[in-house]
């Protein structure tokens, strides 16, 4: 390929990046060139200990689990390492005779491949809304205003506060107004949030999908009709807008918020920042860690705004659902301890049926159970907080996949992921309407 041609080609690509879609510059200045994702399962306590040590020294980016404290023997760890660190880690693993698998050999290449295919597709399909693509924060905000304008009978958009960097914290309220004779009894409510962790892009994509399904199937699908007639559903597509935007513009694997902390480190893990057993097991006091709990509970304006909103409406909100990735799990409280919740039977049967519903679509297997047993111990999480203030059903989805693509779930998998997740969410909602207490 001649240099001039290549230059021209690049120039055209840049033009598309800058004119076609906002926030599209996430090849991230080649920052992931040579980076690897490596999966290691320590077989015994000695290996576990050594692995923790070397992760600590190399300051790796843990994809699974999210903190070094949650590494145990026989649990898999997916770790993202820089070009240099991966050399050190791999030679150590070979010397120590530990099993490993390289999941991604060059992360930059994977990101660029996904970017390029998205740009091509967009050129073909503008100006429609892109439910089978990842959308930038600006695109999602534009879409929210559009939904509000075009579906005012079912959708009501409002902001519950502002993020650290001053962005509005938008929430969509879905549902029909109760007919006048029913007005005395207020409708029960459901809360759903996505994008609490910035790099888990499938979350916001699902929240958008849910809203799309609500407005397009209200008239034809009796289940959706029932949900929107009998309940209000609050959908917050991007709980952590600063972090989400940053994951598009600077660091694809950013997890936290963007508030400035000590030691020149940024961000708090917004799922360790809730006022429930704050900063105990599975959370870090170090501002530079990816599971940093923050200086105090609700220090993050995003968490505080959501907590205040839900707390005020705790008499009405019966279901809290938060969407994460990746692991393919449906989790419920407790996260911070190994005890069973008081209404375990009802919650467990709702989760079991929801997971079956997921399986019925494409045969995907989801594990389900208390977050502590099923995933790992974590404190200050949103489901524990929601449950603690009296919301009987609190769930956290860990959407697809189980590590093959990890956070880089291809856009081709948005559709099946959302279709199966819709079935689960509807199932949980109908479970509430059938009154299991
Ligand atoms: Zn998450």
For 303-349, what is each residue's pLDDT tens digit?
999 999 999 999 999 999 999 999 999 999 999 999 999 999 999 99
- Of 88, 105, 122, the last residue of a domain is 105
Position 223 in a domain: yes
pLDDT at 128: 61
Active-site annotation holder among 189, 302, 398, 420: 398
Same domain membership, residue 282 and residue 373: yes
Total domain count, the chain: 2
- Of 90, 105, 120, the last residue of a domain is 105
Same domain membership, residue 205 and residue 275: yes
Position 427 in a domain: yes
363-398 per-residue burial string, b: 16 or more CB within 10 A, e: under 16? ebebbbbbbbebbbbbbbbbbbbbbbbebbbbbbbb
CA of 104 from ligand 1 middle (Å) equals 20
Q: Three-state DSSP class for 354? A: helix
Same domain membership, residue 378 and residue 232: yes
Residue 352's CATH number: 3.40.630.10
Position 10 in a domain: no
Q: How confident is the model at residue 130 (pLDDT cuts 50, 70, 90)?
A: confident
Position 96 in a domain: yes
pLDDT exceeds cutoff 70 at 4: no
Same domain membership, residue 245 and residue 196: yes
Same domain membership, residue 148 and residue 83: no
Would you say 221 and 266 are in contact if contact means Cβ atoms under 8 Å apart?
Answer: no
Burial of residue 162, with CB atoms counted within 10 A of its CB: 0-12 exposed, 13-18 middle, 19 or more buried:
middle
Position 124 in a domain: no
| Nearest alpha carbon to residue 107 among 72, 143, 60 | 60
CA of 12 from ligand 1 middle (Å) equals 36
Position 261 in a domain: yes
Q: What confidence tens digit (pLDDT) does each residue in 177-221 have?
A: 987 666 556 899 999 999 999 999 999 999 999 999 999 999 999
Same domain membership, residue 148 and residue 75: no
Position 428 in a domain: yes
Task: Report how far residue 254's alpha carbon sits from residue 147's, in angstroms, rounded to the nearest whole number.
Answer: 28
- Of 105, 129, 151, the last residue of a domain is 105
Determine whether 87 is an active site residue.
no
* Residue 219 domain boundaries: 137-433
CA of 219 from ligand 1 middle (Å) equals 34
> 228: which 2 tokens?
């929107």
Distances (CA, A) of 249 to 16, 194, 195, 301, 324: 16, 19, 16, 22, 21
pLDDT at 67: 87
* Lowest model confidence (mean pLDDT) among 8-22, 328-342, 369-383: 8-22
CA of 55 from ligand 1 middle (Å) equals 20
pLDDT exceeds cutoff 50 at 14: no
Same domain membership, residue 382 and residue 235: yes
Residue 96's CATH number: 3.30.70.340
Per the listing, tokens 């914290």 go with 169
Same domain membership, residue 322 and residue 429: yes
């Amino acid at each position: 390929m001649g240099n001039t041609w290549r230059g021209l080609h690049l120039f055209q690509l840049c033009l598309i990046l800058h004119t076609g879609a906002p926030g599209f510059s996430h090849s991230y200045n080649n920052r992931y060139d040579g980076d690897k994702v490596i999966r290691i399962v320590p077989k015994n306590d000695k290996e576990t200990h050594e692995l923790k040590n070397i992760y600590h020294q190399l300051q790796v980016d843990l994809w699974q689990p999210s903190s070094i404290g949650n590494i145990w023997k026989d649990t898999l760890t997916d770790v993202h390492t820089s070009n240099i660190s991966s050399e050190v880690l791999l030679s150590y693993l070979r010397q120590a005779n530990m099993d490993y698998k390289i999941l991604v050999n060059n992360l930059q290449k994977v990101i660029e491949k996904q970017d390029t295919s998205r740009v091509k597709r967009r050129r073909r399909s503008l100006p429609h809304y892109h439910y089978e693509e990842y959308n930038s924060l600006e695109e999602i905000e534009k879409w929210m205003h559009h939904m509000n304008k075009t579906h005012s009978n079912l959708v009501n958009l409002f902001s519950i506060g502002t993020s650290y960097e001053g962005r509005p914290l938008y929430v969509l309220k879905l549902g029909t107004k109760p007919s006048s004779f029913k007005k005395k009894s207020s409708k029960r409510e459901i809360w759903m949030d996505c994008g609490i962790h910035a790099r888990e892009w499938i979350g916001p994509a699902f929240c958008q999908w849910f809203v799309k399904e609500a407005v397009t199937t209200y008239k034809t699908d009796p289940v959706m009709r029932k949900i929107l007639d009998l309940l209000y559903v609050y959908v917050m597509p991007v709980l952590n807008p600063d972090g989400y935007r940053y994951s598009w513009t600077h660091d694809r694997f950013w997890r936290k918020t963007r508030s400035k902390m000590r030691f020149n480190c940024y961000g708090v893990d917004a799922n360790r920042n809730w006022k429930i057993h704050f900063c105990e097991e599975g959370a870090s006091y170090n501002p530079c860690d990816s599971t940093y709990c923050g200086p105090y509970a609700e220090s993050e304006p995003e968490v505080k705004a959501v907590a205040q909103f839900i707390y005020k409406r705790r008499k009405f909100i019966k279901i809290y659902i938060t969407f994460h990735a990746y692991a393919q799990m449906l989790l419920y409280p407790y996260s911070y301890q190994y005890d069973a919740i008081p209404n375990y039977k009802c919650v467990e049967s709702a989760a079991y049926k929801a997971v079956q519903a997921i399986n019925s679509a494409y045969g995907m297997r989801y594990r389900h159970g208390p977050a502590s047993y099923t995933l790992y111990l974590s404190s200050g999480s949103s489901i524990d907080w929601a449950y603690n203030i009296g919301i009987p059903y609190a769930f956290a989805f860990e959407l697809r996949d189980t590590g093959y693509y990890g956070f880089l779930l291809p856009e081709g998998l948005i559709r099946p992921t959302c279709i199966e997740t819709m079935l689960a969410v509807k199932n949980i909602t109908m479970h509430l309407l059938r009154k299991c207490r």
